Structure 1
Amino acid sequence: MLKDSVYDRVSEIHSEQPWFVLGAARDFLLYHSDIPEISHFYSFEADPYTEQVLAIPDGCVDILFDCDECRPTAKVCGTTLEATNAEFIHNHRYFGVRFAPGLTPDFLQASANELIEHQLNLLDVAPIASIIFEQIIRCSVFADQVAIFEKFYANQCARKSSKLTLFAVNEIFVHKGNIQIQDLAESTGCSTRTIQRQFLADMGMSPKAFSRIIRCQSAVYDLNHSKNVTFADLAFDLGFSDQSHFLREFKKLVSVTPLDYLHRVKQEAYVARLRYF
């Protein structure tokens, strides 16, 4: 049923949190992991002059370490379903691990549904992570923090989903979120009700909600990294019925219109802020 491994597909999905990048005091550090279940690692210092930093839907689970010397913390952050205040503390340095869209590390003692739109204390849901928590918060070098987590995760794995859900996720990736549940039903021979039920059990959200997130992320990536993208072409490529529908949907999930977003990204030199390791 599953033609390609879902882990092969996730490398093609660009998981973006643009307001994190624009809310960094200086450079936003990035490291794309060779571990297929991990999208990337990131690190930044929160800008004292940015009043609010938003998290947008990305379908990912993040583990976020606040490396403050006095009160360090670590949170497990499930994906949001709309733009939400990320609650960063000014001048604090953060180290983050973003898992690939749709994947959940199995060492977390929390269901997929418990993670959606929630932030949980890492040590409450993963006591096994206490050792790396101490090591990471005491470390000030991004590359060393990455190495600490990768060594820990070498003995871990992603939570297993059903073959039906894996197929659905793969198809959503392939179509950049532009797919209907009826199409999944025709491809699998399963009823829409069965697909809905199994997907919700494995992912904590409906196929429609996950498709919406992936379609939004595809739009954000193109706006961030394409020089000559037009809203009309983008709306067409992502299967929106018309440009106005795309504009409304984008604003719901990202909090601003595509035009406002594009102006902000260019003004703040978004790509220039990124530092790859």
Structure 2
Amino acid sequence: MEAPDIHHKEFAPPVELQDAVSCIWYSVRDFGAVQTGFEVLPDGYAEIIFHFGDSCDMFYNGRLHPLPSPFMMGLLNQPVHFYAKHKLVVIGVRCYPWTIFDLLGLPTGLTGVQLFEHPVAALQAALTKLVKAGKLEEAVALLMQYFSDTTATNGTDTTLIKAGAAMRAANGTLPVAQVAAAAHATVRTLERKFKQSSGFTVKDVSGLIRFEQVRNHLWRYPDVNIAGLAMEMGYTDQSHLSREFKRYSHTTPAAFAKRPPDSQRL
């Protein structure tokens, strides 16, 4: 299948959002007149997704289901398949999974692709006008301002922020005890707070962060030596990396490396 044309741009968040938001991004794809499928793989983030165009459908239970805008893409543990046609514009708020629920003021527990009710949905009309006018960067700025204002009332536990920063700095390779030490917390306290804030354990999220790094490395360097990559990323051996990679991607690292890196995100 020929990949659609893609224009993707990411914007660093302002200082007041940096503990909760990795970036706000937009992506523009022209799929043509035929409805086309694309795959989104797991990573170590949760995202709020706005989309603009003819349609954005998700395939599950044997059929296509239309997705409203916005929807939430929580942590994934397997690939998700979407379908679109003609021009699709997507704007995403890429959050850390241990902060997204505090940022939105929502209860923990939304994983995978989820519908959610929140005042941020009221921005859809204003964002649509900006997108139709081709003012994508203004649309991004509007979202940044909204969430900058939101953080004034919805804060995140500093223990989680420190733990999350340590996990990402180590590409998901730190043992739980070392993550707890970096956060100045006991393992028991950290696990409790992490489960409450993200719905996942520290080990769960570390595994996704490490998979994300391997996935990105294979996209950039498809001819990499898998055994050497396993050692670099802290896996026991090549077989360990392959098992974990197949768990999240449903394919082997070698087969994945042959794919074009065009379906990273919506």
TM over 0.5: yes
Give the deviation of 1:211 after TM superposition. 0.2
Q: Does 1:134 align with 2:125?
A: yes
33 and 215 in structure 1: CA distance in 2 versus 1, 3 angstrom threshold: same
Q: Distance in 1 between matches of 2:11 and 2:186?
A: 37
Give the deviation of 1:54 after TM superposition. 2.7
Structure 2 counterpart of 1:110, one-letter code? L
Aligned 1:28-177 pairs, distance under 5 A: 28-35=7-14, 36=18, 37-45=21-29, 47=31, 52-68=37-53, 73-91=68-86, 93-102=88-97, 103-104=99-100, 106=102, 108-113=104-109, 115-121=110-116, 124=117, 126-130=118-122, 132-138=123-129, 139-140=131-132, 141=134, 142-157=136-151, 159-177=154-172
Q: Is the 8 A contact 1:68 1:137 kept in 2?
A: no
Give the RMSD, CA atoms, in angstroms: 3.1
Question: Structure 1 vs Structure 2: percent identity of aligned residues?
Answer: 20
Q: Distance in 2 between matches of 1:69 and 1:118?
A: 20
More off after superposition, 248-257 vs 97-106: 97-106
Give the deviation of 1:28 after TM superposition. 3.1
As a proportion of its length, which structure holds more strand? 2
Q: Is the 8 A contact 2:44 2:212 kept in 1?
A: no
Give the deviation of 1:137 after TM superposition. 2.0
More off after superposition, 67-76 vs 93-102: 67-76
Q: Is the 8 A contact 1:30 1:41 kept in 2?
A: yes
Structure 2 counterpart of 1:56, one-letter code? L
Q: Is the 8 A contact 2:26 2:91 kept in 1?
A: yes
Instruction: Give the unaligned 5+ runs of structure 1.
Output: 1-21
Structure 2 counterpart of 1:68, one-letter code? G
Q: Is the 8 A contact 2:10 2:26 kept in 1?
A: yes
Q: Distance in 1 between matches of 2:239 and 2:35?
A: 30
Q: Distance in 2 between matches of 1:207 and 1:127?
A: 30
Give the deviation of 1:24 after TM superposition. 5.9
189 and 201 in structure 1: CA distance in 2 versus 1, 3 angstrom threshold: same
Residue number in structure 1 paired with 2:248: 253
Q: Is the 8 A contact 1:46 1:88 kept in 2?
A: no
Residue number in structure 2 paired with 1:25: 4
Q: 3-state DSSP class of the match of 2:50?
A: strand
Q: Distance in 2 between matches of 1:78 and 1:72?
A: 11
Q: Distance in 1 between matches of 2:232 and 2:40?
A: 25
The alignment of Structure 1 onto Structure 2 pairs a total of residues equal to 243
Give the deviation of 1:94 after TM superposition. 3.0
Q: Distance in 1 between matches of 2:100 and 2:242?
A: 31
219 and 157 in structure 1: CA distance in 2 versus 1, 3 angstrom threshold: same
Give the deviation of 1:252 after TM superposition. 1.4
Q: Distance in 2 between matches of 1:23 and 1:161?
A: 43
TM norm structure 2: 0.77
118 and 106 in structure 1: CA distance in 2 versus 1, 3 angstrom threshold: same
